[in-house]
Amino acid sequence: MKIAVIGCGLMGKGIIQSFAVNGYKVIAVKHRENDNSFEPYLRNELDKKRINEEDYDTVLGNVVFTADIKETADCDIVIETIVEDLEKKRELLEKLDKICKPEAILASNTSGLSIKSLAEATERKEKVIGMHFMSPVPVMRLVEIIRSEYTSQETFDIVSDITKKIDKDGVAVKDSPCFITSRLIAVYMHEAFRMYEEGVGSAEDIDYIAKEGLGFPIGPLRLADALGVDVVLKVMENLSENIDKRYTPCELLKTMVESGKTGKKSGEGFYTYKKK
């Protein structure tokens, strides 16, 4: 089975790695031809001992990078990991629908957008599904598998099976705004944002208490930086619009995004990071 991953950001890289290290041939579609960030990323995985030298060579040997989306034409499953924007994702799926072979499955790594709406951008609604991987992908085993009312049992079974084969735990989730993980995380993070905005505690103190006092593996503000403050803002707006106004994002998030403080990827969010 041949896999394509569209988007080589942090999530895309992790998904590429997870398939390639398990022996799958992967077509990785990058946004810019001159984007050569994957090998440094993989070297960092090696330094962190998440992979060994053999895995490193296996991954590089199984991945072909391209900026030409038409290279996905003969792939069996295409997973998109582009920006969390419904219209942009719909445009991409509409394009893929024309490029990919009829039997190909189109999967979205969206953290909460409607799979039904994405499917309706194609002529293969029954073959559109959600595969919401967790970050960091190489470490986290959970994958939310989201089927819309159109998704066929065959599509669901194929995706569930391949999820197991890359050593992940797939959990079936209803197609609802932000699914389960993003909805839970939104409540956790939003309260932290409000406390930070009100001056209740510093970013370091809020995160330390969440980790040491409540047992979370990462604090909410550090997590927001890792996910992207802009991504978190979109999740909050989605929940506020489609579920309940209690999810309405605080002004702090909007101000941070407007000023370009989107977290680790920009070099500054709730924390400051060294740019590589």
Q: Which two tokens stand for residue 118?
A: 């994405």
Whether residue 271 is contained in a domain is answered as: no
Sheet holding 128-133, edge to edge: 63-66, 25-29, 2-6, 77-80, 105-108, 128-133, 142-147, 169-174
Are 163 and 230 part of one and the same domain? no
Strand partners, 146: 130, 173
Are 21 and 75 part of one and the same domain? yes
pLDDT at 43 over 70: yes
Are 20 and 97 part of one and the same domain? yes
pLDDT of residue 273: 94
Lowest mean pLDDT among 11-25, 117-131, 145-159, 243-257: 243-257
Mean predicted confidence (pLDDT) in 225-238: 90
Q: Which two tokens stand for residue 2?
A: 């041949």
140 — pLDDT class (breaks 50, 70, 90): very high
Q: Which two tokens stand for residue 76?
A: 């069996």
Q: What percent of the chain lies above the pLDDT cut of 70?
A: 99
Report pLDDT digits (tens) over 48-104.
Answer: 999 999 999 999 999 999 999 999 999 999 999 999 899 999 999 999 999 999 999
> Do 59 and 17 contact (CB within 8 A), yes or no?
yes
User: Radius of gyration over alpha carbons of the chain, in Å?
Assistant: 19
Q: Which two tokens stand for residue 57?
A: 């060579």
The residue segments making up the domain with residue 251 are 181-258
Mean predicted confidence (pLDDT) in 156-177: 97
For position 252, which CATH number holds? 1.10.1040.50
For position 107, which CATH number holds? 3.40.50.720
pLDDT of residue 136: 85
Mean predicted confidence (pLDDT) in 255-270: 95
3-state DSSP assignment of residue 170: strand
Whether residue 267 is contained in a domain is answered as: no
Residues 248, 236: Cα–Cα separation, whole Å = 6
How many helices (DSSP H) and strands (DSSP E) are in the chain?
A: 11, 8
pLDDT of residue 276: 55
Whether residue 276 is contained in a domain is answered as: no
Whether residue 266 is contained in a domain is answered as: no
Report pLDDT digits (tens) over 106-119.
Answer: 999 999 999 999 99
